[in-house]
């Protein structure tokens, strides 16, 4: 069925929203796409260092590769329209709204004066609003959420909220689709810079807030230099975060944390053998809600891990050079790499098997989305 | 659901596995047999001798000079392993167990003393449960070379010998274990020879890992000079931040690592990384050869240990020149060689996001 895009975009957003919400998008895998292969969206470079927003089918066929000015980080698909925002990597002031059918650049979204993107954003389930984590560079590190409204094919920034913390990074919806979870990394950086200013006074937190900006909860991990950066949310509301520890390489600090429904935010039990392999750095986390699995990439340790979300039993500890993005598909997880081939980890059997995918090798950025 | 198209794509990838004539596979195979396995064997043998030496010394059958010689060989063999330290050594905290460096806070001295105070009858099993700080060569070096310890005094020898013996054994077990993981039927060596396999989807991934580990070791050598030179501390020399400062072996270690890196480049029979450069890249090949030669000659010309060189102008100039030479070598690999070979060394690992 060929849908005329103009006509499609012209539909009332609210009318389509109900259908999309029913399909559910938690755990990164959505039943909307049964029958067709999901589209893998990611930021990628070419070997000359040019930046691209790309979309591929998992069989390796390219849907689009659109060159963009600046390197992007995460990608947020619209809940029901064929468009996605490729979010500028910190300290970029640009994000790119892309038509995911042909890669057409619909809009270069600019952050306002004294704000830059942190690489992450989310679309609200009704498709009309987008929230992006941003840095208030007039008070470096003060976390704000830029609130953008989608009108036609354009996002317009209409207001902003506080993230109730410093250096926010990833944000996601809780299953109600109305409560936002924000990882405040706790690190202050200035405009045009990636250099940490406050390693001796870091203040990282996991914040839950409502869409009006009011605070639901704010929790911290015990280690001051442990920066909460990435997260995944299961369809039952279990939330997992991946940390980067800014202290010494030899310090023994857990890098994975969990907040189960109605429970405090706390470390997820990881054995020393796996913790040590992470080299104090995690890149992406993903949850497979149906299989109840948790996947994590650790590109400094060149390691991919999968645990049982409920029992915390280790299911996979495998080498993959510069492993980057991870996302759930029906069978398990797809993992990309900055230097080698992407892999599919089939998790349906007790023994997880990996298969290289026929996608271009290397230069994939830290996040991927399957829509 | 993912159905047949993906399965088909995966099958076709499997079917296009490398033929034996694939140059990348040839290089990976040749380096595995001609360079990597011999380096791991030499290390394992040196640690076997270290363990034997520790026992002999403590039994009064070796003198301190002989014990120090066995340590020097083990330390040098370990330095030679570093440019090929991927796979089992990169896992299970093993590299830290072999060497604790950098040791900014002199944890080695503090933890060794705390351990021998708390466990006068220390056994190898006790050591296995202790911190990596006291399990490796850095602690062994402290025991044999630190000015505060005199092993010619019977009391001190009695105090430290259980630890000397335990570290020797720990190192021997560790090196033997790593070596057997390389040589096992489906071990690391096998994974570097036939593709695709559980670790590498294709030969270029293996070659990339070889080059990445080598280049990162060369970068590490810069750090080993840069740290004591004070390049990270406003130019104020920090001789006690040097690797192996107690045994005055900083530059000897550096030379051993450099020699391994050069063997990865050359190959045992001119079949290393350089074999991947076509004749149209002869100029680059020559520049890399010249850079190795320059660094090697500067190292050979250093007549004094690093600590001494850092103490005067002339010496510091010599070390700075050596650093610059390593820097040239590093950059040639990191940018020009990797780019020419189409190998991506890193992308996200240093991303910081």
> Which residues in chain A are closer than 8 Å to B2, comparing Cβ atoms?
37-38, 58, 329-331
B4 touches chain A (CB under 8 A): no
**Could you tell me which chain A residue has the CA closest to the CA of B89?**
A277
Q: What is the pLDDT of residue B20?
A: 55
Q: What is the pLDDT of residue A29?
A: 40
Contact assignment for A58 to B9 by CB distance below 8 Å? yes
Q: What is the mean pLDDT of residues B260-272?
A: 98
Q: Measured between alpha carbons, how far is A96 from A108 in angstroms, rounded to an integer? A: 5
Chain A nearest CA to B209, separation (Å)? 8
B209 touches chain A (CB under 8 A): yes
Least confident of A34-48, A216-230, B38-52, B259-273: A34-48
* Model confidence pLDDT, tens digit, residues A189-207: 999 888 999 999 999 999 9
Q: Measured between alpha carbons, how far is A344 from A295 in angstroms, rounded to an integer? A: 12
Chain B nearest CA to A128, separation (Å)? 28
Which chain A residues in 126-165 lie under 8 Å from chain B, judged by CB atoms? none
pTM: 0.88
B349 touches chain A (CB under 8 A): yes
**Could you tell me which chain B residue has the CA closest to the CA of A120?**
B353
Q: What share of chain A has pLDDT > 70, as a percent?
A: 91
Identify which of B6, B87, B351 has the shortest CB distance to residue A58.
B6
Q: What is the pLDDT of residue B92?
A: 78
Q: What is the mean pLDDT of residues A19-40?
A: 52
**Could you tell me which chain B residue has the CA closest to the CA of A355?**
B10
Q: Position of tokens 């060159």? A: A67
Structurally, how many domains does chain A consist of?
Answer: 1
**Could you tell me which chain B residue has the CA closest to the CA of A250?**
B96
Which chain A residues in 312-341 lie under 8 Å from chain B, judged by CB atoms? 318-319, 321-324, 329-331, 338-341
Which CATH architecture does the domain made up of B23-191 adopt? Answer: Up-down Bundle (1.20)
Contact assignment for A339 to B352 by CB distance below 8 Å? no
Q: What is the pLDDT of residue A13?
A: 53
Least confident of A44-48, A248-252, B8-12, B277-281: B8-12
Q: Measured between alpha carbons, how far is A285 from A296 in angstroms, rounded to an integer? A: 5
Chain A nearest CA to B326, separation (Å)? 24
Q: What is the pLDDT of residue B19?
A: 53
Q: Measured between alpha carbons, how far is A176 from B321 in angstroms, rounded to an integer? A: 63
* Model confidence pLDDT, tens digit, residues A233-268: 999 999 999 999 999 888 899 999 999 999 999 999
For testing the chain A interface, which of B191, B347, B350 should be mutated: the one with the most A CBs within 10 Å?
A: B347
Domain with A234 in it: 5-370
Contact assignment for A358 to B12 by CB distance below 8 Å? yes
Contact assignment for B348 to A73 by CB distance below 8 Å? no
Q: Is the pLDDT of residue B1 over 50?
A: no
A34 touches chain B (CB under 8 A): yes
Q: Measured between alpha carbons, how far is B238 from A35 in angstroms, rounded to an integer? A: 64
Contact assignment for A339 to B345 by CB distance below 8 Å? yes
Q: Is the pLDDT of residue B259 over 80?
A: yes
**Could you tell me which chain B residue has the CA closest to the CA of A298?**
B349
What residue ranges do the domains of chain B occupy? 23-191, 203-341
**Could you tell me which chain A residue has the CA closest to the CA of B10?**
A357
Identify which of A90, A356, A363 has the shortest CB distance to residue B201.
A356
Cβ atoms of B165 and B19 within 8 Å: the answer is: no
Q: Is the pLDDT of residue A31 over 70?
A: no
More confidently predicted of A99 and B15: A99
B15 touches chain A (CB under 8 A): no
The 3-class SS string of chain B reads: CCCHHHHHHHHHHHHCCCCCCCHHHHHHHHHHHHHHHHHHHHHHHHHHHHHHHHHHHHCCCCCHHHHHHHHHHHHHHHHHHHHHCCHHHHCCCHHHHHCCCCCCCCHHHHHHHHHHHHCCCCCHHHHHCCCHHHCCHHHHHHHHHCCCCCCCCHHHHHHHHHHHHHHHHHHHHHHHHHHHHHHCCCCHHHHCCCCCCCCCCCHHHHHHHHHHHHHHHHHHHHHHHHHHHCCCCCCCCCHHHCCCCCCCCHHHHHHHHHHHHHHHHHCCCCCCHHHHCCHHHHHHHHHHHHHHHHHHHHHHHCCCCHHHHCCCHHHHHHHHHHHHHHHHHHHHHHHHHHHHHCCCCCCCCCCCC
Contact assignment for B205 to A276 by CB distance below 8 Å? no
Residues 6+ apart with CB under 8 A from A246: A187, A196, A199, A202, A225, A226, A227, A280
Q: Is the pLDDT of residue B294 over 70?
A: yes
Strand partners, A240: A232, A258
Dihedral sign computed on CA atoms, order B178, B180, B183, B185:
negative
Q: Is the pLDDT of residue A11 over 50?
A: no
Chain A nearest CA to B352, separation (Å)? 8
Token pair recorded at residue A66: 């659109």
Strand partners, A161: A145
Q: Is the pLDDT of residue B58 over 50?
A: yes
Distance of CA A96 to the CA centre of its chain: 16
Contact assignment for A300 to B204 by CB distance below 8 Å? no
pLDDT band per the 50, 70, 90 thresholds, residue A96: very high
The CATH code of the domain that includes A199 is: 2.130.10.10
Residues 6+ apart with CB under 8 A from B76: B46, B249, B252, B253, B256
pLDDT band per the 50, 70, 90 thresholds, residue B91: confident
B198 touches chain A (CB under 8 A): yes
ipTM: 0.85
Q: Measured between alpha carbons, how far is A165 from A152 in angstroms, rounded to an integer? A: 32
Q: Is B54 exposed, middle or buried (0-12, 13-18, 19+ CB in 10 A)?
A: buried
Q: What is the mean pLDDT of residues B307-323?
A: 95
Chain A nearest CA to B7, separation (Å)? 8
Helices B154-183 + B107-118 axis angle, to 10: 110
Contact assignment for B347 to A283 by CB distance below 8 Å? no
Q: Is the pLDDT of residue B268 over 70?
A: yes
B153 touches chain A (CB under 8 A): no
Chain A nearest CA to B192, separation (Å)? 14
Q: What is the pLDDT of residue B346?
A: 85
Q: What is the mean pLDDT of residues B241-266?
A: 97
Pick from B90, B133, B270: nearest CA to A301: B90
> Which residues in chain A are closer than 8 Å to B351, comparing Cβ atoms?
283, 299, 366
Contact assignment for B13 to A356 by CB distance below 8 Å? yes
């Amino acid at each position: 069925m060929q849908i005329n895009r103009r006509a499609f975009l012209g539909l009332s957003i609210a009318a389509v929203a109900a259908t999309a919400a029913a399909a559910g998008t938690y755990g990164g895998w959505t039943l909307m796409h049964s029958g067709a292969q999901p589209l893998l969206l990611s930021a990628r470079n070419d070997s000359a260092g040019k930046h691209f927003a790309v979309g591929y089918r998992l069989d390796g066929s390219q849907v689009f590769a659109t060159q963009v000015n600046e390197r992007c980080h995460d990608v947020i698909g619209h809940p029901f329209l064929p468009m996605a925002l490729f979010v500028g990597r910190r300290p970029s002031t640009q994000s790119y709204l892309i038509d995911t059918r042909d890669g057409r650049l619909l809009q270069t979204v600019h952050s306002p004066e004294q704000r830059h993107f942190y690489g992450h954003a989310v679309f609200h389930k009704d498709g009309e609003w987008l929230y992006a984590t941003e840095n208030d560079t007039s008070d470096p590190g003060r976390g704000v959420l830029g609130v953008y409204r989608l009108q036609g094919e354009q996002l317009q920034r209409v207001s902003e909220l506080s993230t109730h913390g410093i250096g926010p990074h990833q944000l996601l919806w809780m299953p109600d689709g109305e409560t936002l979870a924000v990882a405040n990394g706790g690190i202050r950086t200035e405009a045009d810079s990636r250099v940490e200013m406050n390693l001796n006074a870091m203040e990282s937190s996991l914040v839950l807030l409502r869409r009006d900006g009011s605070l639901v909860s704010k929790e911290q991990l015990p280690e001051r230099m442990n920066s909460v950066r990435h997260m995944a949310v299961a369809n039952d509301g279990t939330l997992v975060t991946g940390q980067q520890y800014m202290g010494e390489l030899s310090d023994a600090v857990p890098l994975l944390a969990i907040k189960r429904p109605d429970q405090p935010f706390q470390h997820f039990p990881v054995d020393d053998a796996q913790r040590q392999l992470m080299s104090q750095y995690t890149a992406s986390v993903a949850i497979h809600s149906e299989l109840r699995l948790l996947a994590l990439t650790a590109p400094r340790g060149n390691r991919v891990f999968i645990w049982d979300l409920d029992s915390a039993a280790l299911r996979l500890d495998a080498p993959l050079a510069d492993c980057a993005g991870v996302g759930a598909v029906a069978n398990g997880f797809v993992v990309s790499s900055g230097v080698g081939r992407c892999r599919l980890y089939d998790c349906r059997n007790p023994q997880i098997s990996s298969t290289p995918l026929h996608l271009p090798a290397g230069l994939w950025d830290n996040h991927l989305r399957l829509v | 659901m993912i159905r047949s198209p993906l399965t088909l794509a995966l099958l076709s990838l499997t079917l296009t596995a490398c033929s034996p004539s694939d140059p990348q596979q040839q290089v990976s195979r040749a380096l595995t047999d001609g360079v990597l396995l011999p380096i791991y064997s030499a290390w394992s043998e040196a640690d076997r001798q270290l363990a034997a030496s520790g026992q002999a010394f403590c039994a009064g059958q070796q003198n301190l000079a002989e014990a120090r010689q066995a340590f020097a060989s083990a330390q040098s063999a370990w330095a030679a392993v570093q440019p090929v330290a991927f796979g089992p050594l990169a896992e299970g905290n093993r590299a830290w167990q072999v060497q604790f460096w950098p040791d900014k806070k002199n944890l080695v001295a503090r933890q060794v003393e705390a351990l021998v105070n708390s466990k006068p009858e220390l056994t190898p099993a006790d050591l296995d449960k202790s911190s990596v700080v006291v399990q490796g060569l850095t602690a062994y070096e402290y025991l044999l070379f630190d000015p505060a310890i005199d092993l010619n005094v019977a009391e001190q020898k009695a105090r430290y010998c259980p630890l000397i013996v335990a570290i020797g054994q720990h190192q021997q077990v560790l090196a033997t274990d790593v070596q057997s993981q390389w040589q096992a039927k489906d071990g690391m060596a096998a994974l570097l020879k036939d593709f695709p396999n559980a670790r590498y989807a294709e030969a270029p991934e293996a070659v990339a890992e070889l080059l990445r580990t080598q280049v990162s070791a060369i970068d590490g050598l810069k750090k080993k000079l840069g740290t004591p030179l004070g390049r990270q501390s406003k130019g104020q020399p920090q001789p006690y931040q040097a690797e192996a400062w107690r045994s005055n072996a900083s530059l000897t270690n550096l030379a051993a690592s450099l020699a391994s890196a050069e063997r990865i480049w050359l190959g045992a029979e001119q079949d290393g990384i350089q074999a991947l450069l076509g004749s149209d890249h002869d100029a680059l090949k020559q520049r890399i050869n010249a850079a190795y030669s320059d660094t090697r000659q500067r190292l050979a010309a250093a007549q004094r240990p690093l600590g001494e060189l850092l103490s005067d102008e002339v010496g510091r100039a010599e070390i700075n020149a050596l650093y610059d030479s390593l820097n040239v070598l590093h950059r040639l690999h990191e940018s020009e060689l990797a780019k020419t070979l189409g190998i991506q060394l890193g992308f996200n690992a240093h991303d910081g996001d």
